[in-house]
Amino acid sequence: MTILIKGGTVVSTTGADPAEVLIDGETVTAVLQPGSAMALAAEDGAQVIDATGKLVVPGGVDVHTHMELPFGGTVASDDFETGTRAAAWGGTTTIVDFATQRYGENVRQCLDDRMALAEGRCAIDYGFHMIIGGVDNDSLKEMDALVNEGITSFKLFMAYPGVFYADDGQILRAMQQASGNGGLIMMHAENGIAIDVLAEQAYERGDTDPVNHGYVRRAEFESEATHRAIQLAKVGAAPLYIVHLSAKEALEQVAIARGKGMNVFAETCPQYLYFSVEDHLDKPGFEGAAYVCSTPLRSKHEHHQDELWNGLRTNDLAVVSTDHCPFCMKEQKELGLNDFRAIPNGIGGVEHRMDMIFQGVRNGEISLPRWVELCSTTPARMMGMYPKKGVIQPGSDADIVLYDPNHTWTIGVDTHHMNIDHSAYEGIEVTGHVDTVLSRGKVIVDADAYHGSAGDGQFLRRSTSQYLI
Ligand SMILES: [Zn+2]
Ligand SMILES: [Zn+2]
């Protein structure tokens, strides 16, 4: 069966032009000039989808999500089924989630368990990074095997002592291993040892409200860890990808390294571009708990948000992901009612990334092609999925979003599809709306209805990062 998407404006990293997209089965077979003989011929026998007035963009690629992640005595409230369906509603057709090995656990077993959990339940295609929470001889050796099986990126933590934390020697060893096998090291760059000192002091003083989460996770601790990670990556000769960067000082470190030509990359997330300590984490009562995530939101008075937008323009920030890790207020965030340290870290946002970053196009922060580059093309290349994902061209998977750039609506818990009892984005009015979503040629979202099913999504064996210089 063939589908012809007609009448729309196809957006790529290099421009936005009227074009028609021909799909055969799961694959794009041609991008055609409107009115051309080939376009007219393509209409014969094809199902025609009218995209008049709409942007036709490659499906979103969110390379940082945590479906049903066990954290802090509870489990992230979106499972693979609800979370990937919500992603599809928001125009994201690929996620890369994480399998987690903790200290003392077997990497292979942890990955197998995670694969089994996702199997047959995802609405969209999915891959995995591997969290190495316990660097030892066994886990290092397993990294080589994983790269050959399509798990080509490894996340390490400089935070969360006693949970995921790796010390500098362990980080260096993992980097040396990645240097040999082509893997990408992803780093949670915050000095967790120092953070825990301030966190305990704050608690002892009686400063227990959610806002203290932001106060103790100082920007200096993020920039120091980012700097240290970069130096270790230089010695270890491994490519480095800083996840969820939120402090302008950390961005400076990335910019310096990139200026020297190092293979250092960074992502940020919508929450760091739009939310702040003052307006969100410091909401009255316990409301701020909804905005507890790590790295934390930053102060608007220090203009971190403006600097992050600038980083998105300069490419020192190359990717926007969500770090989707939703916890309900009831019974989950509430675990930290009397102690901010016990609030599960995470914000639900997998559904809102495309819309929130499109607002940056509307506000003049970034160009339309840059929106596609940040949300789709670069994440696909960064994580070894291009050109299967992240682009509309012959041979690519027909993961396509029809986006209405003029439709204004309001985000909130009543309209979202994530399995969470509140929305960090409640009441935000956006212009731009995901109208239709195709995943490998199948229309899964259209006219405010979901037409897909659990198990549509397939596991993606990824190649190594295609962004290395
Ligand atoms: Zn992290
Ligand atoms: Zn994360």
- Distance CA(36)–CA(230), nearest Å, equals 51
Ligand nearest to the CA of 349: 2
Model confidence band, residue 220 (pLDDT cutoffs 50, 70, 90): very high
How much distance in Å is there from the Cα of 265 to the middle of ligand 1? Answer: 15
Q: What is the per-residue pLDDT across 287-340, written as a single tens digit (0 to 9) for each? A: 999 999 999 999 999 999 999 999 999 999 999 999 999 999 999 999 999 999
- Distance CA(178)–CA(184), nearest Å, equals 7
Model confidence band, residue 445 (pLDDT cutoffs 50, 70, 90): very high
Mean pLDDT of the chain: 97
Q: Cα torsion for 343, 114, 381, 375, to the nearest 10°? A: -40
Residue 467 has pLDDT above 90, yes or no: no
Question: What integer pLDDT is reported at residue 119 of this predicted model?
Answer: 98
How much distance in Å is there from the Cα of 434 to the middle of ligand 1? Answer: 28
3-state secondary structure of 294: coil
Unique residue bearing structure tokens 């893997």: 183
Q: Tell me: cis bond preceding 377? Omega within 30 of 0 counts.
A: no
Model confidence band, residue 127 (pLDDT cutoffs 50, 70, 90): very high
- The beta-strand segments (E) located in 66-165 are 70-71, 74-75, 92-101, 125-132, 153-157
Q: What is the per-residue pLDDT across 161-217, written as a single tens digit (0 to 9) for each? A: 988 999 999 999 999 999 999 999 999 999 999 999 999 999 999 999 999 999 999
Q: How many CB atoms lie within 10 A of CB 332?
A: 23
3-state secondary structure of 184: strand
Residue 3 has pLDDT above 70, yes or no: yes
Ligand nearest to the CA of 346: 2
With pLDDT > 70 as the criterion, what percentage of the chain qualifies? 100
With pLDDT > 90 as the criterion, what percentage of the chain qualifies? 98
Q: What are the Cα distances from residue 241, in Å, to 69, 185, 238, 306, 388?
A: 21, 6, 10, 21, 22
How much distance in Å is there from the Cα of 244 to the middle of ligand 1? Answer: 7
How much distance in Å is there from the Cα of 65 to the middle of ligand 2? Answer: 6
How much distance in Å is there from the Cα of 56 to the middle of ligand 1? Answer: 32
Model confidence band, residue 251 (pLDDT cutoffs 50, 70, 90): very high
Alpha helix positions (H), 302-440: 304-314, 353-362, 368-372, 378-382
**Best CA proximity match to 103, nearest among 163, 188, 156:** 163
Q: Is 161 exposed, middle or buried (0-12, 13-18, 19+ CB in 10 A)?
A: middle
Residue 1 has pLDDT above 90, yes or no: no
How much distance in Å is there from the Cα of 349 to the middle of ligand 2? Answer: 12
How much distance in Å is there from the Cα of 63 to the middle of ligand 2? Answer: 10
Ligand nearest to the CA of 66: 2
Model confidence band, residue 102 (pLDDT cutoffs 50, 70, 90): very high
Question: What integer pLDDT is reported at residue 234 of this predicted model?
Answer: 98
Q: Is 428 exposed, middle or buried (0-12, 13-18, 19+ CB in 10 A)?
A: middle
**What is the mean pLDDT of the segment spanning 124-137?**
97
Residue 228 has pLDDT above 90, yes or no: yes
Residue 15 has pLDDT above 80, yes or no: yes
Length of the chain: 469
Residue 468 has pLDDT above 80, yes or no: no
Model confidence band, residue 469 (pLDDT cutoffs 50, 70, 90): low
- Distance CA(303)–CA(259), nearest Å, equals 22
Ligand nearest to the CA of 76: 2
How much distance in Å is there from the Cα of 64 to the middle of ligand 2? Answer: 6
Q: Is 347 exposed, middle or buried (0-12, 13-18, 19+ CB in 10 A)?
A: buried
Question: What integer pLDDT is reported at residue 80 of this predicted model?
Answer: 98
Distance of CA 330 to the CA centre of its chain: 25
> Which token pair is 198?
């301030």
Residue 225 has pLDDT above 80, yes or no: yes
Q: Which pTM was predicted?
A: 0.98
How much distance in Å is there from the Cα of 294 to the middle of ligand 2? Answer: 8
Ligand nearest to the CA of 96: 2
**Best CA proximity match to 10, nearest among 446, 377, 355:** 377
